[in-house]
Chains A and B, each alone.
Chain A
Amino acid sequence: MELFTKPSAVETFYEVVMIDWFHPSILFIAGAFLIPFLKGNVRKAYLVLIPAFAMIAVFSAGEGTYGAHSFLGHEIIFGKVDKLSLVFSYVFTLMAFIGMVYSLHVDDPGQHMAAFLYVGSSLGVVFAGDYFTLFVFWEIMAFASAYLVFARRERRSIDAGFRYLLVHVFGGVCLLGGIILHYADTGSILFGPIEHDGSMGFYLIMIGFILNAAVPPLHAWLPDAYPEATVTGAVFMSAFTTKTAVYVLVRAFAGTEMLMWLGVVMTVYGVGYAMLQNDFRRLLAYHIVSQVGYMVTGIGLGSELALNGSVSHAFTHILYKGLLFMGAGSVIYMTGKRKLSDLGGLYKTMPLTMILYMIAGFSISAFPFFSGFVSKSMIVAAANHDHKAIVSLLLVLASSGTFLSTTLKLPYHMFFGHDSGIRAKEPPLNMLIGMGIAAFLCIAIGVFPGPLYSVLPYPVDFEPYTGDHITGSLGILMFTALGFFMLLKYLHPKNLISLDTDWSYRMGSRVFMRIAKGPVGVYEGFITEVSNTIVLPVIYSLAGIGLWIDRNIVDRFVNSVAAFVLSISASVRRIQTGFLQHYALGMVVGIMVIIIIYSLMGGG
Chain B
Amino acid sequence: MIKGMVDYICDPENAGKRRAIFYVILVVVFASDFIASRHHIAFAWDAIPGWSAFYGFVSCVAIIAVFKFLGSVWLLKKEDYYD
Binding site for B on A (CB under 8 A): 271-273, 275-276, 347-348, 351-352, 354-355, 381, 384-385, 387, 389, 392-393, 396-397, 400-401, 404, 415-416, 466-485, 487, 490-491, 494-500, 506
Contact = CB atoms under 8 A, between A and B. Distances in A.
A500 B67 CA distance: 13
B75 A404 contact: no
B71 A276 contact: yes
B63 A401 contact: yes
B59 A396 contact: yes
Given A468-B37, A475-B52, A479-B54, A355 B60 contact: no
Contacts of B37: 467-468
Interface in B26-56: 26, 29-30, 32-33, 36-40, 42-43, 46, 50-56
B13 interface: no
Contacts of A273: 67, 75
B7 A348 contact: yes
A334 to B, nearest CB: 16
Nearest to B47: A468
Q: Which label, helix, strand, loop or mixed, suits the secondary structure of the A interface? A: helix
B36 A470 contact: yes
Contacts of B63: 271-272, 275, 397, 400-401, 404
A474 B29 contact: yes
A476 B42 contact: no
B31 to A, nearest CB: 9
Nearest 3 pairs between A and B by C-beta? A475-B52, A483-B60, A476-B56
B20 interface: no
Contacts of A498: 71, 75-77
28 contacts: A273-B75, A275-B68, A276-B71, A276-B76, A348-B7, A384-B46, A385-B42, A396-B52, A467-B39, A468-B38, A468-B39, A469-B40, A471-B32, A473-B52, A474-B52, A475-B33, A475-B51, A475-B56, A476-B56, A477-B56, A479-B30, A480-B56, A482-B57, A483-B56, A483-B64, A496-B79, A498-B75, A499-B77
A404 B40 contact: no
Nearest to B59: A400
B40 A468 contact: yes
A304 to B, nearest CB: 17
Contacts of B82: 497, 506
B52 A487 contact: no
Given A482-B57, A497-B77, 4 more contacts: A273-B75, A354-B6, A415-B10, A476-B52
Contacts, number: 165
Given A468-B37, A468-B39, A276 B60 contact: no
Q: What is the interface residue range for chain B against chain A?
A: 35 or more
A238 B77 CA distance: 26
Contacts of B17: none
A500 B82 CA distance: 12
B56 A351 contact: no
Contacts of B61: 483, 487
A384 B32 CA distance: 22
A73 B81 CA distance: 53
Contacts of A469: 39-40
A599 to B, nearest CB: 43
Contacts of A352: 2
A483 B38 contact: no
Interface string B62-75: 11101110110011
B39 A466 contact: yes
A480 B77 contact: no
Contacts of B29: 471, 474-475, 478-479
B8 to A, nearest CB: 11
A474 B52 CA distance: 8
Contacts of A480: 56-57, 59-60
B66 A475 contact: no
A272 B67 contact: yes
Contacts of B46: 384, 468, 472
B76 A355 contact: no
Contacts of B32: 471, 474
Contacts of B81: 497, 499
Given A385-B42, A478-B29, A497-B81, A400 B75 contact: no
